[in-house]
Amino acid sequence: MNNTKLLSGHLTMFFSTLFFGLNIPVLKFLMPEWLSGVDATFFRVVGATILFWIVSLFVKNDKIEKGDRLLILFSGMFGLFFFLYLFNLGVEYSSPIDISIIMTTPPVLVVIFSSILFKTKISKLKILGVIVSLSGALMLILMGHGEGGTRSLKGNIFGVLSAISYACYLISIKKTSAKYKPITLLRWTFLSCSIMTIPFTLMQVEVAPIWHNAPTEPILLLASVILFPTFISYLLIPIAVKRIGHELVSMYQYLIPVVATAAAVIMKLDKLHWDQPIAAVIIVLGVYITSIANKRMINT
């Protein structure tokens, strides 16, 4: 039974990671011919919100305590919205490979922000891990600037800001994610995100090219972006956490650049530059050092 649960947990997280990784080159394929980053934000947020609320009608939901309502509203309107909005802009303006690598940095950013906000202790080893990871991200940004093709400083900056927003989102939902069922939390978080998204994007999305004589392929690809990485993956992660734990789940994020890079190269959307795998290794090394520091602190 334990082996079955362990296997199902790994399979759940594998598919979630696969969807996240494929999401980046698929979005790049749609941009800018059929969608902009703003359009993608509207479709992903509103589409996923509708799906979460439909599913919530068929399951028992938790009642949100009054003291948590404002936190959930804030998490969705600011953390989740800015994460998705800036992420989509990053994909639009830069290399899908660069963006996928940058999105491995949130664990380190969570450490930084937690130490600032909650005055948590930060050891010298943890500081080293943070410096190593951030140096890898900085290398990626600076080396990609001016190389032409799909790489751009502007897009990579959007990617970094997206990673920062995601780290803030993870911190803001830490308390509520431990108290409520995933579907309960997700339906309210995405609804509050929609409240922010709709007025911010509606004017532009009305003239999105995908509305006008788009063939079947881009419409199906957009539907897949809404269904798989934006809806199903968010539901699978809490299941995987229960079965294999947070630590193993977090390790799967390093597969995202592998999947995104392979797909982007196969789809001829991007090519691998020499600095990208080096930057990825540096970032992962920094995150690994940080995780070792966390373990030492827990065991002392």
**132-191 pLDDT tens trace:** 988 988 888 777 655 555 678 899 999 999 999 999 999 999 889 889 999 999 999 999
For 247, other C-beta atoms within 10 Å of its C-beta total: 11
What is the reported pLDDT for 69?
Answer: 94
Q: Give the largest CA-CA distance in the chain.
A: 63
Alpha-carbon distances, residue 118 vs 114, 121, 122, 171 (angstroms): 5, 9, 11, 10
What is the reported pLDDT for 169?
Answer: 93
Q: Are 93 and 152 in contact (CB under 8 A)?
A: yes
What is the reported pLDDT for 1?
Answer: 46
Instruction: Give the chain's end-to-end CA distance (angstroms, integer).
Output: 33
Q: Per-domain residue ranges for the chain?
A: 2-299
Q: Residue 68 class from Cβ within 10 Å (0-12 exposed, 13-18 middle, 19+ buried)?
A: middle
Query: In 3D, which of 233, 182, 197, 194 has the Cα closest to residue 50?
Result: 194
Q: Counting runs of H as helices and runs of E as strands, what totals does the chain give?
A: 13, 0
What is the reported pLDDT for 100?
Answer: 93
Alpha-carbon distances, residue 93 vs 99, 101, 260 (angstroms): 10, 15, 16
Rounded CA separation 169/89 (Å): 18
pTM of the model: 0.91
Q: What is the mean pLDDT of each run of 10 residues along the chain (300 residues)?
A: 80 94 96 95 97 95 94 95 97 93 89 82 85 88 63 90 93 89 94 96 92 91 96 90 77 88 92 88 88 71
What is the reported pLDDT for 291?
Answer: 78
Q: Are 194 and 77 in contact (CB under 8 A)?
A: no
Tokens 């079965």, residue?
243
Q: Residue 224 class from Cβ within 10 Å (0-12 exposed, 13-18 middle, 19+ buried)?
A: middle
